[in-house]
Amino acid sequence: MAADLEKDGGMGYNRRMKKKKQVFTYKYPTSTYVLMGVMMVCTLAFAVLNVCKLAAVGNLYSALPGLDIVSVIIGVGVCTVLVLTLCLTRYVVTEDALVYQRIKPTRIEADRLLLIRHELSEDMVVLYIADDAAPDGVRYLVIRVAEDQVAPFVRAIQTINPRVGYDLFNRKESEENNG
């Protein structure tokens, strides 16, 4: 990172940023991956059981084939939504906005971005956004990216809006020093 900035005074990074979007993958907690995996295995196992009932495999038979068909469709649909949620949730930094992509993307204009706070003891990054509809005029978005992606994410945000501040702090250390 520092070497890239030293080579061309940071201008190359700005030119590359304007030419393409930067994508940062959303990092779910490990427990979320485990929970979604268990849900998918159970849902797919139930769907396979219903398909076997519909096909009259072994001693299995379907008393209500319509209900079994609906449950297979729902099971496959639930698994599809889970996989799409896990794979497509990300942050995309474009020339003029931050797009938080989930099933439905949210676009946040660059001029509404105010501050990025990185709390080290809890490994949490929070982006503050100007919002007239919020009670205090500001709302926040917790940014969940891998630790090695925090610095590139901050650079990308500050490239599209140089006024965005970056605050790095450690709450536990400050509590120990004050108390």
Q: Where are the domains of the chain?
A: 2-18+110-178, 30-87
The Cα 101–Cα 21 span in angstroms is 13
**What pLDDT score does 177 carry?**
65
Share of the chain above pLDDT 70, in %: 84
The Cα 127–Cα 136 span in angstroms is 15
**What pLDDT score does 122 carry?**
79
User: Is residue 145 classed as helix, strand or coil in its secondary structure?
Assistant: coil
The Cα 121–Cα 174 span in angstroms is 10
Question: What are residue 111's phi and psi, to 5 degrees?
Answer: -75, -10
Helices (H), the chain: 2-8, 11-19, 30-54, 65-88, 150-160, 171-178
Q: Does residue 6 or residue 129 have the better pLDDT?
A: 129
Identity of the amino acid at 108: I
Name the pLDDT band for 157 (thresholds 50, 70, 90).
Answer: very high
> In this model, does residue 12 exceed pLDDT 90?
no
pLDDT in tens, 14-61: 455 445 689 999 998 899 999 999 999 999 999 999 999 999 888 888
What average pLDDT score do residues 149-162 get?
93
